[in-house]
A and B are shown apart, each in its own frame.
Chain A
Amino acid sequence: MTNYMLLAPELVLTLVALAIMLAGLFFGTKHKNILGYVAGMGLFAALSLTIGGLAVNETLFYGTITIDALSQFFKIVFISVSLLVTIASIKYTEGNKNTDEFFTLLLFSTIGMMVVASANDLIVLFVGFELASLSTYALAGFEKKNPKSMEAALKYFIIGSLSSALMLFGISFVYGMTGTTSIPGIAENAGALAASPIGLIAVVMLIAGFGFKMALVPFHMWAPDTYQGAPTVISALLAAGSKKMGFVAAFRIFMVALAVLSPNWQTAFAILAVITMTLGNVVAISQTSVKRMLAYSSVAQAGYIAIAFAVMTPMALAGGILYTLSHAFMKTGAFLVVAVVGYMVVSDNKNAKDIDHLDNFKGLAKRMPLTAFAMMVFVFALSGIPPTAGYVSKFILFSSTIESGLVWLAVIAILNSALSLYYYARIVKYMYFLPAIGGKVSEPRPYAVAIILALAGVLIIGIWPEPFVYWAMEAAKVLMV
């Protein structure tokens, strides 16, 4: 007997998404605004249902879907990001006749990510992956008249398709050698993979496939262009949500299915982590577009999280998993700040160019004190300064690296954190020390609400980390069986 209640969050979201799509046919543009609120409520309901089912551990549908601490944790990450993005988008989509499609796609991409989090079978995983990817391709190109947005979408689509192909190729090798697509099944038969060179090829294909999604160097080329060109609220979704989908999929496939091959991929991830964080931070320093800077910073952050694969102790996994949650709040918050600054610039001057340029942050503390304060917390969190979520996550992740004896990796990671402070502090300097151009602006309410929620997330995890650390550790246990 399948317990459908366990899938309630997904079901609720699917129903809401379909309802929004249907309603879009009948509503005039004026009234479409309400659809955003509906989507928000749906996500909130899904979030509550997921949190209510945190302690479950069951498999459904002949073992193809699993509901465990890991899947629930990541679902919370995805739903939180989508919720924040949805709230902010209520303002962003105001007066747009495609509002219904925007929210439908947003919800579908969330459902896709949730399916990936729960997938216990490579085919289910791939289907979830594609659902999320296809929806986000369309969302990245949502501003149809903006060439930059189109470029972003096209680039994202082409590279995304390539990565899907690589991933599928890797999956086919794994299937060919082990005769099953079930993740626990593969783990049982992984001996055959380990014994043959095909195992290595499969690992390489899968790392490349997921590496694109996670934006690990050298698979990161699309990320800065896409994040910069896409509508800022969607950049938040991509950087904070869809990227984590790559991580949860990689966690399951590598740690559970291909655990036997860990000598093959552990070193690979250690090297990728080092290159990714270093390149991300170094390139971020020279950016003048805040969006692009955040994109590179997000590349660097993926490098930190990838340390969890290289270390592979329960503590490191807990650190990596907690990092994804913290990063969700910090990065979404930071991108939403960029969005609201963009809104401010455009309301100053309709034809403004380079709305994400660093110069627009000059004197922000005087123009929008709340936003500036929130941005300061977000960037300090991203660089790992206490008492924020970023600090707690880095603390656990880096300390576990030392525990496992990979001191060199921890030293590089810590030096990178120090380096990143340089460009993060520069934003603070622009916001607080440089004179403002223009008068005080009040943030549109939806943006303000979303930013305050993200701020609360960053500070709560930073100040009272116990429950989050506990659940991250529970989630890590799923992987360490």
Chain B
Amino acid sequence: MISMPIVSLMILVPLIGAVLTLFSKTKEQTRIIALVSSLAPLVGALYMIMNFDSSTPAMQFVESFDWVPSLGILYKVGVDGIALPLVLLAAIVVPATIIYSWGEDKQPNQFFALILALEAGVMGVFTSLDFFLFYIFWELTLIPMYFLISIWGGPRKDYAAIKFFIYTHVASLVMLLGIFALYFAAWAQSGIPSFDIPYLLEQFQFLENTVLRDSIFLALLFGFLVKMPAVPFHTWLPDAHVEAPTAGSVLLAAVLLKMGGYGLFRVMLPMLPFTGSPKLMISILAFIGVLSILYGAMLALAQTDLKKMVAYSSISHMGYVTLGAAALVPLSVSGAMFQQFSHGLITCLLFMSCGSIQHIAGTRIIADLGGLAQKMPKLTVLMLFGFMASLGLPGLSGFIAEFLVLTFAYLTLPGYVLLALLGIVVTAGYHLWAMQRSMFGVLNEKLGHLHDITNYETISMGILALLVLYFGLNPSPVLDMMTTNAEQIVSLMALAGV
């Protein structure tokens, strides 16, 4: 029996924290309330990890109540090996972001309230087991991010915010069309209205109309790919990142993008074997994955703005998620899931470094920097750590994820993997080159007086760096449960004879 609705609390506590933060009086009060209410989900996530049974792919900590029975809408939340690592990721990243932004001076109460509201939305997305609820949370994450960009953003914030909003909102609406079609088709099929995600995924294979099945699949896929984002649906991301404040970029890259990948594992892969032509769908996914890896890396290489480079590197890294998922080998799929988790941690370090450089040096243009290591040793160490993790240095978490994806995807998609390997070279190239030009070499005197990062920034980035190292050496706390679920997904393929 469930004694405590722990999953609901993880959604509710940040939400209550957001309201309290909004109405708090002083800056001090604000950030303490924000920190406490973001640490509570972390405690919850750790508790769930401790008490999680990694040997079963079933949902755990499930809570289910009728919400709108006449339409078959439930309030149903729970976690499994796909969701729990991402819940943990969000629970780590949000407090880290709050600590990093400790010194925020511009309307701090609204700033922290939006971050907490975003956390509530993201937790909801990762734990909802009802499409209606899922979609509500999915849309709810948009609003705080829109405000984070458009209030605290850079010079072109209006454009970036509205582009972000409209682009992802349209994608969500297409996804909604797919959900509707699935809901009604399943209703007509079984006579029971239900938005229950596992139930609908099960019903999907019984739909007789192949065109309908394919349309549903593609509509949902579009919604998720835009969020990830995969090339060619990525153009909103660089604008949003460049204009967003550091905390916004961190949350966007570390948590929001993961919602797209999560959708792939939760919704798309269980459907994939039952589409009209699974082979074609796999090829589409693999192609998009490799394209994202290569194109993202090439674009990153060409950037002059450090933050834009990191933004494109996100696209490139999310390509591994798509590729690993498309390969449909248990270890490549769990590698792709681990890539989500690992990239979430690493990208925080990268965006925080960019933010600190912008804040202290006043510019992020790589050519205007140079020799910062002399003045900012702490930042340089942490940033170097992040860059090394990002380019896949063994011993850090990024290596394990990408190694698993590439090695095991080779079993089923050898051609695509060989192409993707080219990306690794470019990835190493742009990371090292950017590091060399911005942090090392001769100090650019024009930058004026430079100081190192504050203690809060150091603590926040230090914790993240340690976690990257920890999961690089010992990935099993999250990787085991991912593998269990990945095996189950792949067994569906065998069932369908793909």
Contacts and interface: CB of A to CB of B under 8 A. Distances in A.
A433 B151 contact: yes
Given A395-B132, A433-B151, A421 B158 contact: no
Interface in B448-481: none
B151 to A, nearest CB: 6
Per DSSP, chain A at the interface is helix
Contact of B69 (A395, A399, A466): A466
Contacts of B151: 432-433
Nearest to A462: B136
A466 B180 contact: no
Interface in A374-433: 380, 385-387, 391, 395-396, 398-399, 402-403, 407, 410-411, 414-415, 417-418, 421-422, 425, 429, 432-433
Contact of A466 (B68, B143, B158, B173): B68
B76 to A, nearest CB: 15
Interface string A13-40: 0000000000000000000000000000
A466 B139 contact: no
A395 B177 CA distance: 10
B170 A469 contact: no
A473 B69 CA distance: 13
Interface stretch (B37-45, B161-169, B419-427): B161-169
B495 interface: no
A469 B68 contact: yes
B304 to A, nearest CB: 29
Contacts of B176: 398, 414
Contacts, number: 64
B177 A402 contact: yes
B117 to A, nearest CB: 13
Interface string B179-191: 0110110010000
A411 B150 contact: no
A398 B183 CA distance: 12
A191 interface: no
A421 B169 contact: yes
Residue from B162, B170, B180, B183 having most chain A Cβ neighbours under 10 A: B180
B51 interface: no
B147 interface: yes
Contacts of A417: 173
Interface string B373-396: 000000000000000000000000
B150 A433 contact: yes
Nearest to A466: B68
B199 interface: no
A465 B135 CA distance: 16
B170 A418 contact: yes
B139 A469 contact: no
B180 A410 contact: yes
Contacts of A425: 146, 162, 165
Given A399-B183, A425-B146, 18 more contacts: A385-B143, A386-B139, A391-B136, A395-B132, A399-B180, A399-B184, A402-B177, A402-B184, A403-B187, A410-B180, A414-B177, A415-B173, A417-B173, A421-B165, A422-B166, A429-B158, A433-B151, A466-B69
Interface of B: 67-71, 132, 135-136, 139-140, 143, 146-147, 150-151, 158, 162, 165-166, 169-170, 173, 176-177, 180-181, 183-184, 187
28 contacts: A386-B135, A387-B136, A391-B139, A395-B132, A399-B180, A399-B183, A402-B177, A402-B180, A402-B184, A403-B180, A403-B184, A403-B187, A411-B177, A414-B177, A415-B170, A418-B166, A418-B170, A418-B173, A421-B166, A421-B169, A422-B162, A422-B166, A425-B146, A425-B162, A432-B147, A433-B151, A464-B67, A469-B68
Interface of A: 380, 385-387, 391, 395-396, 398-399, 402-403, 407, 410-411, 414-415, 417-418, 421-422, 425, 429, 432-433, 464-466, 469-470, 473
What are the 9 closest A-B residue pairs judged by CB atoms, nearest first? A386-B136, A403-B184, A399-B180, A402-B180, A466-B68, A414-B173, A418-B170, A386-B139, A465-B68
